[in-house]
Structure 1
Amino acid sequence: SVAREGCNRLLLLQQQLLDSIFVWQRADGGFSWQLQAQEGHRDTSAEGMIGYGAWLAAETAAVQRSEQWSPALSRLAAIMQTSIRDGRVTDCSGECKGFAEYPQVYGTYPWGSGSALAFLAVQLFREESNDRAE
């Protein structure tokens, strides 16, 4: 059917997008505020959104290569935990001033805390469950 064909196309595009994003994962496991800017500041809001999106795709078996992302997600969770200080998620890029105007200010913001904590909660629960199963 047309609907099934469209759904399969979207799933393939999602997989391709995530594959292309993980190419830019830094050696420390994180992601820069701009994916290609490997020397740029880490951005926990971007990391949280990428991590949660990939985790959700893997959990729902929406993509075929989700297992290859498992080590990358573990490395991402590990580096993100270093950005939690005094109960706050730090290293989040500040508010955008306008279209394509990023001030390069980093701190604690709700958009970073929400995405980072959502990803860390599900990822750490998954890792803990896998450890108990072994």
Structure 2
Amino acid sequence: MTAQPDHSVHPDDELIPRPQKTPDALRAALAAVAPHRLPEMAEQQDEAFALAVRDGSIDPLRVFLNTWAAHIEVARHLDTAARMRAAEHAVQTLDRDDPRWSEAIRVCLEIFNRAHAAVNG
């Protein structure tokens, strides 16, 4: 007998626990909540390592981990992830002259900044 998905999750509930800020933990969490973004994460991780080596600084690695922790924080919450997807869709489909475009940008920034503060605060 196979396990059935739990559709009783409340929209504000966490899909997964907040992961540790390590590459392996973040990758596993992303695979659970947004597997389609794994190639993007891998590309940015490679870029962060290259910058760290070039600059002789671990700052690019910190930025990478903090940024992906925030992306995962958004995706862990159904309601927040849905709001982000709707705002991103509006940004991609509306004309920049449309006032709704500016509002969508504001929503994207607000959601991401709150997630970033939650995982890095």
TM superposition score normalised by structure 2: 0.30
The structure whose residues are more often strand, as a share, is 1
TM superposition score normalised by structure 1: 0.28
